[in-house]
Amino acid sequence: MTSEFTVTGTSLPTSSAESLSALMTSCTHTYRTKAGEFTSKSTSITLYVQNVYLALQMSPLQHNIDITIDGTKAKLPGHIYTIDRSGLVDLGLSGILWSDRNVGAENVWDYGGYFAWGETTTNGNYSAGSVRYVPAEDRVTKYCTSYDYWSGGGDPDNKTQLDVEDDAAYAQNTAWHMPTRDEMTALVLNCYWEWTDKYEGHTIGDADASGYIVYMLKSDADKDVVVMYEDTPKVGYSTSADTHIFLPAAGIKIGTGYGEEYSSPGTDAYYWTATLGFSPYVETDDPYIPLSGSNLHFDKLYNEPSANWYSRYSGQSVRAVRRSN
């Protein structure tokens, strides 16, 4: 993937690495670079990889510049700014681009981080009373449509979509967001899904990288087709030649410390959306479920990928999306 850097400044020295060069004298320059290590000869500007993030740091401090990285502004000096360098994948879904890896994942086949719904960091504590806005198993203080579960004071806020400050994808890169329930449902209904026990031969620790490959359609006849474990794949799709993303079966985390349950990695997957828990089967005027967040769930043997809901305090995977315009 390449990232776009627009840097505006005054009296900055020339920087050079892998054809990265610009003399900035009250001008604006755009760099298109591969993620890697870039160090200016004068040590004034440094671009480097830190885990899965591309960071920019500047020294000495007497230089003053404004930096826009993938559409997000950062101020230097004295500031390290990181961006998710995941790839953008266009699966033909009405202008929604999907990241090629989970939030927090080093590689496209890795599990990445586990986030409670509404949390932007992974804290290893996935129980009611320990995560944001869920003080007890039957109470919430934000994102609620019912007095039955509200403890935020006054009336329920009736919020049903995560604000950006509570979006784990946005926290990594403000150009990204967690998919809505509708965007996740579009992925399920408008792509071809194929289970694999070992994505392109990769492993995650001692385990094989298993999960679903989600392909851009080659034909409308393949829409909403799911090839489960031991089913026969369709002819004509391959990861080497066709546009796709891979959703690893990362399992789920619930609880804390010695009581933490790490359930079914390698066979089950749970991916959050930015939408409050929602059930089309609830026979009331309010289909939302305030104690839950909407998610995507699938497993190896029994359940095809589908929109679902689960307790907000559980630790689940996040796959970021981005609008193309």
Q: Shortest CA distance to 266 belongs to which of 124, 126, 111?
A: 111
Phi, psi angle pair for 184, to nearest 5°: -70, -40
pLDDT tens digits, 88-105: 899 999 889 999 999 999
70-84, 88-102, 115-129, 161-175, range with the lowest pLDDT: 70-84
Cβ neighbours for 192, distance < 8 A, ≥ 6 positions apart: 214, 215, 216, 217, 218, 222, 223, 225, 227, 234, 237
Rounded Cα–Cα distance for residues 199 and 6 (Å)? 36
pLDDT tens digits, 229-265: 999 999 999 999 999 999 999 999 988 654 456 688 9
Rounded Cα–Cα distance for residues 48 and 38 (Å)? 6
pTM of the model: 0.74
DSSP state of 136: B
pLDDT tens digits, 129-170: 889 999 998 999 999 999 999 998 899 999 999 999 999 999
Alpha helix (H) residue ranges in the chain: 168-172, 181-189
pLDDT tens digits, 179-226: 999 999 999 999 999 999 999 999 998 899 999 999 999 999 999 999
Strand partners, 17: 20
Rounded Cα–Cα distance for residues 270 and 247 (Å)? 10
- Residue 254 token pair: 């619930």
Phi-psi region of 238 (alpha: psi -120 to 50; beta: other; left: phi over 0): beta
- Residue 101 token pair: 């890896």
| Percent share of the chain, pLDDT over 90 | 59
